[in-house]
Amino acid sequence: MSKDIVAAPFVQEMMKVTANLYRLGWDERNGGNISYLLREEEVGAYLNPNQVIRTIPMIFDATELAGRYFIVTGSGKYFKNVIDAPDVNLGIIRVADTGKSVELLWGFKDGGVPTSELPAHFMSHIERLKIDSDHRIIMHNHATNIIAMTFTHSLEEREFTRTLWQMCTECIVVFPEGVGILPWMVPGTDAIGMATAAKMREFRLVIWPHHGIFGAGSTMDEVFGLIETAEKAAEVYTLVQAQGGAQQTITDQQLQDLADAFCVTAKSGYLQVGVK
């Protein structure tokens, strides 16, 4: 337990990815948040789990996650500052047995608290763990071109997904299940958390129109890559529209051929071809 926790791989990942997200312009000011489910042995290698710094109440009942450990970004914290002051802008927490509070084990040195979106994160973690036992990451950011696309494109999930798939060859391979889309909702509420979690039963990417995107996965690279790929497709869409619109695109048959070649299954009913 004498190890420097800042050197822990999970802290280093949080430091690097938050810096990168800020550099890309997806997490301006205090926008965006990340929660990373940790294993007890990972935490125990650096911290004494019996030494609780303080208890932080929650309005959400996270009983299903009782005893689980997370490293999370802080409420009101700027991603650009994480790399220089991780112990101020990040916190390692454990969900209390009651599910009504979290126990701070490290970080938030200035008295800070976890992201205001923590209920949305916890609800999504709960749903994703039912589907994928390796699930660990929930990431929310304000990917620029995805947000822009929600102003100019139909928000019907099938049509939005098909457009993203058609913009970059790799998209159907990276997110063959497509993207989920909510109606506009006030962030930081149980309502948007529940709606996001419900979408997470089908999708690893959920778009909040005019706001941003949520991604889920088992590793930081997987989740960052999911969002990065969708954002690149949205950027291409933006450029295509600015150039006068598409004159040709990837056909449904070609998308099916891609899915077959990479052994993925496109969401049922999204392609107008017979499955081979």
Sequence-distant (6+) residues with CB within 8 A of 94 are 49, 52, 67, 68, 69, 70, 102, 103, 105
Is there a binding annotation on residue 142? yes
Per the annotation, does 211 bind a ligand? yes
Is 140 known as a binding-site position? yes
Q: Which of 103, 117, 222, 228 is catalytic?
A: 117
**40 noted as active-site residue:** no
Amino acid at 32: G
- H-helix segments, the chain: 9-23, 40-44, 79-82, 86-89, 118-131, 144-152, 157-167, 171-174, 190-199, 220-242, 252-261
**Within a 10 A sphere around the Cβ of 253, how many other Cβ atoms?**
12
- 197/200 Cα distance (integer angstroms): 5
Q: Which residues participate in the annotated binding site?
A: 140, 142, 211
- Residues contributing to the annotated binding site for Zn(2+): 140, 142, 211
Q: Which residues carry out catalysis?
A: 117
